[in-house]
Amino acid sequence: MLRVSDRDPQLLRAVEDAGLHIGRAVEVVGADAVRVDGADRVRLPDGVADVVWLTA
C-alpha cells in the first residue's frame, strides 16, 4: 500500500482497523475486499477505494 488519505478521520480509522497500513502487501480479491500480507480476506468499508492508493 502506498498512501492513505487522512481527509476523513473516521474512514481512516476504519482503514487502519482493517489492517491496511503503509508498506503492507495488499492483494485485491474483490470489489470490496482485499487480502493483507497473505492473511484472510478483509471486507473494506464503503468509500475506501476513494482514499487508498496502491502500487504494483
For residue 29, what pLDDT is reported?
92
Please tell me the pTM assigned to this model.
0.66
For residue 2, what pLDDT is reported?
62
- Full 3-state SS string of 5-53: CCCCHHHHHHHHHCCCCCCCCEEEEECCEEEECCCCEEECCCCHHHCEE
**Number of domains composing the chain:** 1
Range of the domain at 21: 3-53
- What is the pLDDT tens value at each position of the chain, 56 positions in all? 667 777 888 888 888 888 888 888 889 898 888 898 988 898 888 888 777 777 77
